[in-house]
Amino acid sequence: MSIVAFGATVMMITRSEEKVAAAVPIEQPLLICKAERTDRLTVGNGPGGTTTGADAILGFQYAYYIDRAGKAAWNFVAPDAANVSPAENLEKSIEAEIPIGTTHCVHIAQREPDLFDVDVQELRPNGMRAVYKQHVRTVVRDGHTVIYEILDR
């Protein structure tokens, strides 16, 4: 009798745990991006700016991943850029390839005053991760530091 009661109790607990587990959303793995800045290293995913090369790179990536706007990304690109896709192509790429909810983290290592090794880590909502390794060259135009060239490395 006690075995039957124990078995019934286990079944009830198991079933109620199954119901709870089904009702709780599964959390996606996090992409932790702790902002850090030293003389030659910048890590982050913030809005950036046009004061330094690292700021321009952060701004470009923020516009791409957070704003999801090619035109906003081009605010961080030189008008005479060597090989950066036009804003319209960036827009199409964002819509076609970057799911809403994708997070990113940018690691920027300054090699020369205007040359950076950049790793863009991406985490998509489905848990898929990618790292894009780039060389990025910046220039100063009209008093603003902007991206001139982005090459794979």
**Does residue 9 lie in a domain region?**
no
Residue type, 58: L
**Does residue 87 lie in a domain region?**
yes
**Does residue 106 lie in a domain region?**
yes
CATH of the domain at 144: 3.10.450
When divided into structural domains, the chain yields a total of 1
CB 59 within 8 A of CB 77: no
Residue 96: partners with Cβ closer than 8 Å, 6 or more residues away:
none
Report the C-alpha gap between 134 and 118 in whole angstroms: 5
**Does residue 114 lie in a domain region?**
yes
pLDDT of 31 reads 80
The mean-pLDDT minimum among 17-26, 58-67, 68-77, 114-123 falls in 17-26
Q: What is the DSSP annotation of 46-98?
A: S---SSSHHHHHHHHHHIIIII--HHHHGGGB-TT-SSPPPHHHHHHHHHHH-
Give residue-wise pLDDT tens across range 82-136.
Answer: 999 999 999 999 999 999 999 999 999 999 999 999 999 999 999 999 999 999 9
Give residue-wise pLDDT tens across range 27-66.
Answer: 556 788 999 999 999 999 999 999 999 999 999 999 999 9
**Does residue 123 lie in a domain region?**
yes
CB 46 within 8 A of CB 79: no
Structure tokens at 42: 């910048």
Structure tokens at 9: 């109790």
**Does residue 75 lie in a domain region?**
yes
**Does residue 104 lie in a domain region?**
yes
Write the burial class of residue 145 (CB in 10 Å: 0-12 exposed, 13-18 middle, 19+ buried).
buried
Residue-number span of the structural domain to which 52 is assigned: 27-152
**Does residue 8 lie in a domain region?**
no
